[in-house]
Amino acid sequence: MSNSPTFLALGHVTRDIQLDGSFTLGGTVAFAALTASRLGLEAGIVTCADAELTTQLPSLLPGIQLTVQPSIQSTTFANRYQEGFRTQYLYSRADSLELSSVPPAWLEAEIVLLGPLAQELDVDFVKHIPRRPGQLLAATPQGWLRRWESDGRVWPTPWQDAEQILPLLDVLILSHDDLLPFADGDRTEADALLARWSQFIPLLVATDGRYGATLYQAGQPQKFAAYPVQEIDPTGAGDVFAAAFLTHLFWHQDPAQAVNFANCAAACSIEQPGMLGIPTLAQVLARMQS
């Protein structure tokens, strides 16, 4: 492997507790880096985890370059789905990620994805990431849209730092559903917030499940249909979408084509449980052609 990955994901990996008490590896950075790797890029992760999980990561993330900032505990979630809705609990949280934990050479990556899950990347972290021409700096902000109670129950919270962080980014990718709690469930109001945010950033993409995705450029929306699927497990679909979009954008510099490609990759990913559904480039292209 090279010293510097082409695709770098920053944020917490997670233990996702299952109904039987076992865990599966989760987190935006895990799904996104594996997606980039299966699409053909050298991928790396900088994360924070306890000693036991750290020893397991190389086997759980084969082919991924890893830098782990030590922590007494790892971020641990439990996700419960019922009729398409998720109730989430945060049982433990790893330390916040420090920029000094990122190998300097890795900051030369062509694509850098910020994938916070539990407020582990603060404004100063983002502000001090060194930039270079041609690099794509992107974020999936779900971890900036969460708060949790003493019992661990996770609730939505407004993204207070949005207008500080957005101008620092090239791409923001998020789920339309993440904004509905702040719009009283009104999709029109959520769309208005997306349009406002898109004024601060070159590219914004909002995924919307079976409704597809919307690309915003300078406040102007362009909608893309979803691919038909037989849904088995939606976990990580948004992260697969984000990595596929950024990978295609890096290759071809065409945001519209990148959304269609990412829609297809996300559709593939939810037809098998967990990370088993993350597709290869050949699988995505075959599905698009069919």
* Percent residues over pLDDT 70 in the chain: 98
- Tens of pLDDT, residue by residue over 136-172, are 999 999 999 999 999 999 999 999 999 999 999 999 9
pLDDT at 203 over 50: yes
Pairwise pLDDT comparison (152 vs 85), residue with the higher score: 152
The mean per-residue pLDDT over the stretch 106-133 comes to 96
Residue 213: which residues within 8 A CB-CB, separation 6 or more? 205, 206, 207, 223, 224, 226, 241, 259, 262, 263
Please check the confidence at residue 2 and state whether its pLDDT lies above 70: no
Q: Please indicate, yes or no, if residue 126 is contained in any of the structural domains.
A: yes
Please give the pLDDT value at position 12.
Answer: 98
Whether 187 maps to a domain, the answer reads yes
Span 205-238, pLDDT tens digits:
999 988 899 999 988 999 999 998 888 888 889 9
Distance in angstroms (rounded) separating the CA atoms of residues 215 and 194: 10
Token readout for 114 is 């910020």
Range of the domain at 89: 7-289
166 located within any domain? yes
Q: Which residue is it, tokens 């909002």?
A: 206
CATH of the domain at 158: 3.40.1190.20
Q: Is the pLDDT of residue 1 over 50?
A: no
Angstrom distance (rounded) from CA 205 to CA 176: 9
Residue 1 lies in a domain: no
Asked if residue 188 belongs to a domain, the reply is yes
The tally of domains found in the chain comes to 1
Neighbours of 167 (CB within 10 A): 10
- Residue 239 above 90 pLDDT? yes
Number of Cβ within 10 Å of residue 162's Cβ equals 17
According to the model, what pLDDT value does residue 147 have?
94
